[in-house]
Structure 1
Amino acid sequence: MPFPNLDSVESILAIVIVFGVLVFVHELGHFLLAKRAGILCREFALGMGPKIFSVKRGETEYTLRLLPIGGMVRMAGEDPELDILKPHMEVTLVRDAVGKVTRILLDGPSGDERGAVTGTIVRFDLEQALSIVLDTEGEQRTFSVHPQAHLVKDGYEVQIAPLNRQFKGKTIMQRFWAIFAGPAANFLLAFVLFIVIGLAYGVPSNGPILGDILPNGPAAKAGLQAGDKVISIQGQPVSTWKELVEIVGKSPDKDLGFVVLRGNQQISAKVHVFNEKNVGKIMVTNAITYAPGEVLQYGANQTYEFTAMILKSLGMLFTGTVGLKDLSGPVGIFKMTGEFAQQGLAILMKWAAVLSINLGLFNLLPLPALDGGRLAFLVAEALRGRPVDPHKEGMVHFLGFALLMLLILVVTWNDLQRLFTE
């Protein structure tokens, strides 16, 4: 079987859930900070391509799309959705009780709108002045437009977006945080996953408390027991597991005097340290703890350590130490996710946390079409004192997206070659 990890419903379900959660959390970060800044979010989508499910709540349409290769938050001002309205176009205006336009019908009146006005557009401003001027039977009339008015064409409604509701209408910092929040949410997810793992399965204690003791090892021969708390070694006080490891590690083939606390009793023991490649070992592990403080520290340490490790790997890629042939794409990642799913929930959750950090870091790379590329343009805007030409920025992102798709094809080809040669 070319996909041995996909031979069970559980593995497939694990892949769907892991990637669905990673994408959802990433897009949720964008969504929440955009909403906080007052940006109109037209769509919150999981997946790309054709819609297979959608529901509208408030101003936002929540959609599920066919291709499970990402997601998006479509913010007002990022696409030309209002270009359908043109001068000299005949429209029908529907107004509320105070005379503000709430709906602009491009297909003509349906016949049941009371007080509707039909005419030809002379000019309009739906971003700042929020007004529209119509020629009705040779007379020009100006109408005030409600800031949440809708354009209606072919039965499809689009809410207008005044400039203060558009992405481009916000300050540089508001836009920066709305973009940065996506990758940041992935780091937060990794941190939370590591904490959940710690609370469910425990974490290695930072204290100098003995856990598992290897039978016939130095510690066992000296009479030390699981749960003993090391107070001192050779008269040197010990307060952390790191200190214990450092003292033992520097003492291969030596006899060390341990003082441990067992219950309420202090016990002394002489331990002959084993020499393993010039490093001292006494064949013990540290105890497992569920203490909230240590679990939080474990979550932070794991997030930091994996972030540093992935950054180092990225550095090796850019310096040429690692080539494209060594990278894995979606196929390889799906395969590994299925395999980890079969090894248990704790392993799968840890893998999901690592993938989340990967997703966050990858999106922060200053490359076009990625969040990092958009942040780079915002930094350039802040330094220049004016934004980069939108058409030029759009072209850069388009080319970047094309190159990104090419990269995905290359690494997918690598995955397939490895898959069928295993």
Structure 2
Amino acid sequence: MGMIGVVLSTVLVFFVIVTIHEWGHYFFAKRAGILVREFAIGFGPKLFSVKRGETRYTLRLIPAGGFVRMAGEDPELVEVQPGQTVAVKLKDNQITRIYLDRLDERTGTVRGEVERVDLERALSMNLLVEGESESFSVHPQALVVSRGKDTQIAPIDRHFGSKPVRKRAMAIFAGPMMNFILAFVLYAVYAQMVGMPVDNPDKLIIRSIESGMPAAGVDLRQGDIVDTVNGEKIGADLGKMIDIIGKSPGVPVEINVLRDGEPLSFQITPRANEEGAGKVGISASPPTRSATFGETIARAAELMKVSTEFIFESFKMLITGQFQFDDLGGPVRTANVTAEIAKKGIAQLTSWTALLSLYLGIFNLLPVPALDGSRLIFLGLEAVRRKPIDPNKESMVHFVGFAMLMLLMVAVTYNDILRLVRGE
């Protein structure tokens, strides 16, 4: 895979796992009848924005996640107040647009001073027009226009908080759920790609050659059969091959392969990795066969189980202090690792993407303020108490949690950059 392909693959991995997560929130929020104002990938300033129907889809500068902004979760951005002079456009005697500025330029409108307005429950507005009080009904999808932006009003029954707890919980849980589904599908695809080992294998086949590694400098090819390493027969013993190469960092090794039945010999000097073991940059495995449907499902389930155990073990080590701060990586390090894995081939990248998607789903379910897990806890408390938690208190908890997560993100990103500068 060339450098451009590696970069595009890395970007695509992040885009897919974040987008599928946010799409889960979006789909089940829309299904519950909640007005979704924005579907965003990334945070910070907008790079791209387009509005389709009721929702604005945006791509933002900082690629550290995304969000779905639902009506009622945050204070409305534009408010209409009594005493304010506005211009309204009518259709079938209903207000469809409310203009808050540049009123002299609004043609075909009724202009007046707001006497009374309710854009959430009654959907009505009283205007003082040329000394006369007039009453109008407001269309449930009416737009408030100000400073060149259109903001759709949100009747109370379109607010997130107006929906039953079970529907709100589903809209929140759907994000991680979609990550779990994506991980399972990708692991199934991976199982199909690598196949199942045959019974009683007798050889190792080179599956991929990593660019930039010593093996890439000779004429080794995918599909070559490993015969001997430093004169020792390998057969199907992958561990034996790794052991011989691993003990020879900086020392040339002779690798003999069979290609279409013809013997070929190559001298390759292993490069020491971080642990000092020699690596040449090839992956090999015994012969495989196509996996059946049942084997594919079983293998995907097994990989999900093993990966989940690995993720929770990592959390445990973090909590017990077995990890140091320098061991933590942020988006930069994750992108760097993803790029390295992309060089090894599409099968390895598929497996890595599945692991990242599973990790994102599990991480978001942790009971940490601002994450989905914390929001589900608040919904659970509301179900038990049979009344909602004070929205201001809940918002403050999530705000503090979000600020702490952003500080942590900045810290680990700084750590990532230092690591890159030091060449680690």
TM-score of the pair, normalised by structure 1 = 0.76
Q: Shift of the alpha carbon at 1:194?
A: 0.9
| Preserved contact between residue 203 and residue 298 of structure 1 (Cα < 8 Å) | no
In the alignment, residue 101 of structure 1 is paired with which amino acid? I
CA distance in 2, matches of 1:36, 1:365: 25
In the alignment, residue 175 of structure 1 is paired with which amino acid? R
CA distance in 2, matches of 1:29, 1:84: 30
Structure 1, 408-417 or 330-339: larger mean CA deviation: 408-417
In the alignment, residue 182 of structure 1 is paired with which amino acid? G
**2:416 aligned partner:** 415
Residue of structure 2 aligned with 1:171, choices 161, 164, 167: 164
Summarize the alignment of residues 34-53 of structure 1 with structure 2, pairs less than 5 Å apart. 34-53=29-48
In the alignment, residue 390 of structure 1 is paired with which amino acid? P
Check if 1:213 corresponds to 2:202: yes
The change in CA–CA distance for 1:149 and 1:71 in structure 2 (over 3 A counts) is same
CA distance in 2, matches of 1:173, 1:40: 17
Residue of structure 1 aligned with 2:175, choices 171, 182, 188: 182
CA distance in 2, matches of 1:370, 1:144: 39
Structure 2: segments with no counterpart, 5+ residues? 205-235, 237-284
Q: Shift of the alpha carbon at 1:130?
A: 0.8
* Coordinate RMSD, CA, aligned: 2.3
CA distance in 2, matches of 1:347, 1:95: 59
Residue of structure 1 aligned with 2:190, choices 170, 194, 197: 197
CA distance in 1, matches of 2:61, 2:372: 23
**Identity fraction in percent:** 50
In the alignment, residue 170 of structure 1 is paired with which amino acid? K
Check if 1:132 corresponds to 2:125: yes
**1:32 aligned partner:** 27
**2:260 aligned partner:** none
3-state SS, counterpart of residue 127 of structure 1: coil
CA distance in 2, matches of 1:304, 1:15: 25
**2:152 aligned partner:** 159
| Preserved contact between residue 87 and residue 106 of structure 2 (Cα < 8 Å) | no
CA distance in 2, matches of 1:43, 1:201: 40
In the alignment, residue 309 of structure 1 is paired with which amino acid? F
The change in CA–CA distance for 1:111 and 1:182 in structure 2 (over 3 A counts) is closer
Check if 1:383 corresponds to 2:384: yes
| Preserved contact between residue 330 and residue 416 of structure 2 (Cα < 8 Å) | yes
Summarize the alignment of residues 302-341 of structure 1 with structure 2, pairs less than 5 Å apart. 302-341=303-342
In the alignment, residue 56 of structure 1 is paired with which amino acid? K
Instruction: Please list the CA deviations of residues 127-160 of structure 1 after superposition, one character each: whole Å capped at 9, or x if unmatched.
Output: 1111111222333222111111111112211111
3-state SS, counterpart of residue 10 of structure 1: helix
The change in CA–CA distance for 1:214 and 1:8 in structure 2 (over 3 A counts) is closer
The change in CA–CA distance for 1:365 and 1:111 in structure 2 (over 3 A counts) is closer
Residue of structure 2 aligned with 1:103, choices 85, 97, 119: 97
| Preserved contact between residue 78 and residue 151 of structure 2 (Cα < 8 Å) | no
CA distance in 2, matches of 1:53, 1:412: 24
In the alignment, residue 102 of structure 1 is paired with which amino acid? T
In the alignment, residue 94 of structure 2 is paired with which amino acid? K
**2:362 aligned partner:** 361
CA distance in 2, matches of 1:318, 1:8: 37
Summarize the alignment of residues 397-416 of structure 1 with structure 2, pairs less than 5 Å apart. 397-416=398-417
**1:9 aligned partner:** 4
Which has the higher Rg, Structure 1 or Structure 2? 1
In the alignment, residue 337 of structure 1 is paired with which amino acid? T
3-state SS, counterpart of residue 129 of structure 1: coil
CA distance in 1, matches of 2:406, 2:106: 49
Q: Shift of the alpha carbon at 1:29?
A: 0.7
Aligned length: 344
| Preserved contact between residue 195 and residue 288 of structure 2 (Cα < 8 Å) | no
| Preserved contact between residue 88 and residue 97 of structure 2 (Cα < 8 Å) | yes
Summarize the alignment of residues 343-362 of structure 1 with structure 2, pairs less than 5 Å apart. 343-362=344-363
3-state SS, counterpart of residue 122 of structure 2: coil
CA distance in 1, matches of 2:12, 2:136: 50
Structure 1: segments with no counterpart, 5+ residues? 216-225, 227-283
| Preserved contact between residue 132 and residue 143 of structure 1 (Cα < 8 Å) | yes
The change in CA–CA distance for 1:328 and 1:211 in structure 2 (over 3 A counts) is farther
Q: Shift of the alpha carbon at 1:319?
A: 2.7
| Preserved contact between residue 130 and residue 162 of structure 1 (Cα < 8 Å) | yes
Instruction: Please list the CA deviations of residues 67-123 of structure 1 after superposition, one character each: whole Å capped at 9, or x if unmatched.
Output: 2222111111122235431111011121112x111111112253431xx32211122
TM-score of the pair, normalised by structure 2 = 0.76
3-state SS, counterpart of residue 189 of structure 2: helix
In the alignment, residue 198 of structure 1 is paired with which amino acid? A
The change in CA–CA distance for 1:398 and 1:172 in structure 2 (over 3 A counts) is same
| Preserved contact between residue 210 and residue 286 of structure 1 (Cα < 8 Å) | no
Instruction: Please list the CA deviations of residues 29-55 of structure 1 after superposition, one character each: whole Å capped at 9, or x if unmatched.
Output: 111111111111111112222112222
Summarize the alignment of residues 212-361 of structure 1 with structure 2, pairs less than 5 Å apart. 212-213=201-202, 288-361=289-362
| Preserved contact between residue 30 and residue 73 of structure 1 (Cα < 8 Å) | yes
